[in-house]
A = this chain, B = another copy of it.
Amino acid sequence: MSRTQGSWIFTAQCPSRIGTVDVVTRFLREENCYITELNSFDDKESLGFVIRVEFRPEQSGFDAEGFLQRFAPRAAGFAMQFELTAPDARMPVVIMVSKSDHCLNDLLYRYRTGQLAIDIRAIISNHPDLEPLAQWHKLPYYHFPITAETRAEQEDQVSQVIQDTGAELVVLARYMQVLSAEMCEKLSGKAINIHHSLLPGFKGARPYHQAYDKGVKLVGATAHYINNDLDEGPIIAQGVEPVTHTHYPEDLIEKGRDIECLTLARAVSYHIERRVFLQKGKTVVFAS
């Protein structure tokens, strides 16, 4: 959210070693780049290092490709993976939904107003219900029904759209189907799901009903990268809302919608602003 207008973002990660910060900052100095914000973290548990820098080139005519080429040999010595994101970058995204429209509606609003720097290439659903919403925003809508027998084919259709559109991120905005292990593998680190509970509490189906039965005084939502273990992927963001005895399951469902929207939007925004790093099944998030 608070990314400085017009700034480039440089991110990198590698195994922990002395000199990791210096190799980045020294290079940026040599390239005459003005650092406006820098965050780095070296995790003593996972022994991994991550860094995120916002900067602006001091000269006009910044040569991004040259920048990356010149940094590559330095990175090699640290087995460092790195990425450069332009100020005007808009990440190509595919959104997957079922029948619930609250998260989709929220994402579309943020997309339409430019709050989220994403380029929605397609909306995919196993139901036809949300097509009018897509149409109003002039976005392609793919209705790929799914049955027990056609799951594999349907996933092929989904994969095809993701590939054809060049999507770099898939957002599961209350897509109520379990993906195959294969699909999860393929989308690992590139797909964000919203689960309507405070994971690891209330995994699986009907979490609000589970929460009601348990009599909790807080309900929440969890945005996480998907992996091949249901509702177990690395957590990016969590939100929470107080509830009382007056809230029956249908009230929890209603009350939970806002926190689902907010939590998913925050996770997507962190992802596209390159604030999130995957580290051995968990995330480092330089939140804003």
A→B interface (CB under 8 Å): 1-2, 4-5, 18-22, 25-26, 28-29, 32, 34-45, 58, 101-102, 105, 109, 113, 115, 136, 198-202, 214-218, 220, 234-238, 240, 244-248, 250-251, 254-255, 257-258, 262, 279, 281-285, 287-288
Contacts and interface: CB of A to CB of B under 8 A. Distances in A.
- Chief secondary structure at chain A's binding surface: mixed
Given A216-B238, A238-B218, A282-B215, A38 B37 contact: no
A1 B201 contact: no
Given A101-B113, A238-B216, A29 B37 contact: no
Contact of A254 (B115, B245, B251, B281): B115
A214 B200 contact: yes
19 contacts: A2-B244, A4-B248, A18-B34, A18-B58, A19-B29, A21-B38, A22-B25, A37-B40, A38-B38, A41-B246, A44-B248, A136-B136, A198-B216, A200-B201, A216-B238, A217-B237, A218-B220, A218-B240, A246-B288
Nearest to A29: B22
The 6 A-B pairs at the shortest CB distance, nearest first, are namely A215-B282, A201-B201, A22-B29, A2-B251, A245-B284, A38-B40
A162 to B, nearest CB: 26
Given A238-B218, A285-B217, A245 B18 contact: no
B42 A37 contact: yes
Contacts of A109: 102, 105
A2 B248 contact: yes
How many copies of this protein are present in the complex?
4
A166 to B, nearest CB: 27
Given A5-B250, A218-B238, 13 more contacts: A4-B248, A18-B34, A21-B25, A26-B29, A37-B42, A105-B109, A115-B254, A198-B216, A215-B283, A217-B236, A245-B283, A247-B288, A251-B288
